[in-house]
Chains A and B, each alone.
Chain A
């Protein structure tokens, strides 16, 4: 989902940066407030960031014969709310842009928007929807994390199609081409990310029920099971 350095026209680069800034700022405020109110959740916040670090570093092979990576933003979005993931995702993307030439500074705004804004918000929304439809906790987490992952890559495809419409088919043809690269490759990886997020939630629910309960993710009865 990394748009390479310099590969967004100037106007798009500026536009996406402006779009991403309020989320990162709002996320910083949300994290600051959370740590002030509940300092004991600092470690868990670190886990959410660490999870995004690990998963976005794992370039996995996919059925299309190319490699891509999960995003790891679903976990934090469910634990701390989607806005909190914007600055965390921004740190991951900045690390990769500065040290790895993976993504870039000019495309940072667009990449933050797809990975650290759209993904987390999709995760939070899908989780709530799945829970309201009486899906089990594990199934809801799986759907939230995997569809969030996929939505990030669909967003990248939309961003690129908008910047580079096909000369004959326009935006739609271009989107189909970019989605062919990103979204199809991502399907098995999104499933992996869903499974891994359920795994880490299982571990958290096993050892830290109070913390999850405080975050209002687990019903009171399940916490003691």
Chain B
């Protein structure tokens, strides 16, 4: 169990992301039969809810820069994830190498000792 723990954890994460896609495979419709966008952002839904609760509310500040399109937005999100994942990968790589070298360093004197 312990041995497969990491694999099982990864599998569970993938399942948690895939199952919703399968559950909502047909586009939902609102009251009038118009299809509703599925898998929109929760942040946007909250914005819409503010509009329903306080219809008179006007946002008083605009974003400084807006991504030119959703493609550009996903580019920036991918960049953000890549930077983070790259650093974590680098750190783990260094750690593995360091652990191996340490092990090699402690093994050599033992071998020498058992040889004589």
Contact = CB atoms under 8 A, between A and B. Distances in A.
Interface stretch (A17-25, A26-34, A96-104): A96-104
Given A50-B84, A53-B83, A177 B49 contact: yes
Interface residues of B, number: 57
B81 A57 contact: yes
A3 interface: yes
A9 B61 CA distance: 10
Contact of A199 (B10, B19, B44, B94): B10
B87 A46 contact: yes
A177 B45 CA distance: 11
B41 A68 contact: yes
Given A47-B87, A53-B84, A182-B46, A6 B61 contact: yes
B46 A54 contact: no
Nearest to A207: B95
Contacts of B78: 57
Interface string B47-66: 10110011001011111111
A67 B41 contact: yes
B67 interface: yes
A162 interface: no
Contacts of B63: 5, 97, 101, 104
Nearest to A166: B53
A191 interface: yes
25 contacts: A6-B62, A50-B88, A53-B83, A57-B77, A57-B80, A59-B41, A60-B16, A60-B17, A62-B20, A65-B39, A66-B45, A68-B43, A96-B80, A97-B63, A101-B65, A105-B64, A138-B5, A164-B53, A167-B54, A181-B42, A181-B49, A191-B12, A192-B12, A195-B9, A202-B5
